Amino acid sequence: MKPFENAEQLKQIVKEQYSIIADQDRDTNAASCCGTSCCTTIDAAVMAEDYTNLKGYSADADLGLGCGLPTEFARIKEGDTVVDLGSGAGNDSFVARSITGPAGKVIGIDFTEKMITKARLNNDKLQYNNVEFRFGDIEEIPVHGDVADVVVSNCVLNLVPDKRKAFEEIFRILKKGGHFSVSDIVLEGALPDALKKAAEMYVGCVSGAIQKNEYLNLIQTAGFENTVIQKEKQITIPDEILKQYLSEEELVKFQRNTIHILSITVYAEKPATEKVVKEKTCCGPECCAN
C-alpha cells in the first residue's frame, strides 16, 4: 500500500481497507493483523477490548476494531437518543440500544458502504425497530442539529483528517446539555516519519493520531466543557509490526525515545445554555449615557 498524499486519498484508503475488513469475521481479522504479515489494521491484535460481558453484545457485529469501551462510560439513560460515529458492523450501537431500551433511539453513522450493509443485516437479525444505520462522513454528519443526548465513537476520530470539523459536528448534533464519550488513540511524543507516512499504520489508528494535548484542545475549542479522561492505557506496538516500517536503527531509537501511544476514553459536555458574550458598544466621551 502506497503512502497517502492528501485527505481525500486517505479517506479512500480507509474506505477500501474497511470494506475488506467488513467481509471478514473477528477471528480472521485478528489473525491477519498480527505477526510478520500484518496488513491493514492493528486494532484487533493490539488495541481491542473485551465486549463479551456487556449487555447487548453481538458477536456478529464485533470485528475487533475498537480501542476502548465508550458505551461503558457514556452515561446513557433509558429513552436517550444516541449517535454512534464510525458504527462499523453495529456492535457499539447494539450495546447502546440495550441501555436506551425501546423508548430510545440509536443512529449509527459510517462512510463504508459494506459496513452499513453488514450493520443493517445484523440489526435485521436482532429486530430492533429503533436502531438505524446511515451512510455519511463524520466531517459532515447526516443528522440534524440538537438531536442527540449522547454521542459515542470507538477508535474512529483518529481516522478523520479534519478532527476540528469532526468535534464541531459532534457539538452541532448534540442537544444542549448533551455529552459524548469517545475512545480514541492519541500520542505523547513524535512518531518516526516512516510510521507517520505509512497508510497501513493510519488505517490501524496509529499514524492518524495527534498529540494528546492537541486533541483535548480541539474539544475545548469546539465549545465543550467539563472534559474528563475516563480511562487511559498505553498501547505497545509489537516489534514484528514495527519492523515492517522501521530500520533496525530506527527501531532502536523508537524504543529508546519517550513516545507513548495511548488509548483514551474522553467525556465532555455541550453547555446547557448558550454563553452570551457582551459586546462593548460605547467608547469615548461622546458615548451614549447608558
Q: What domains can you pick out in the chain, each with its CATH number?
A: 7-269 (3.40.50.150)
- From the centroid of its chain, how far is CA 244? 25
- pLDDT digits 0-9 by tens, 36-55: 334 444 444 455 677 778 89
Place of cell 524504543: 255
The Cα–Cα gap between 20 and 40 comes to 9
pLDDT at res. 234: 87
The single-letter DSSP state of residue 85 is E
Residue 279: band (very low, low, confident or very high) from pLDDT cuts 50, 70, 90? very low
Length of the chain, in residues: 290
pLDDT at res. 6: 66
The Cα–Cα gap between 38 and 35 comes to 6
- pLDDT digits 0-9 by tens, 81-100: 999 999 999 999 999 999 99
- pTM of structure: 0.82
- pLDDT digits 0-9 by tens, 54-68: 899 898 888 877 888
pLDDT at res. 168: 98
The Cα–Cα gap between 202 and 16 comes to 13
The Cα–Cα gap between 79 and 39 comes to 41
Share the mean pLDDT of the chain: 82
- Lay out the sheet containing 105-110: strands in order across: 131-135, 105-110, 81-85, 148-154, 174-188, 260-269, 225-235
- pLDDT digits 0-9 by tens, 83-142: 999 999 999 999 999 999 999 999 999 999 999 999 999 999 999 999 999 999 999 999
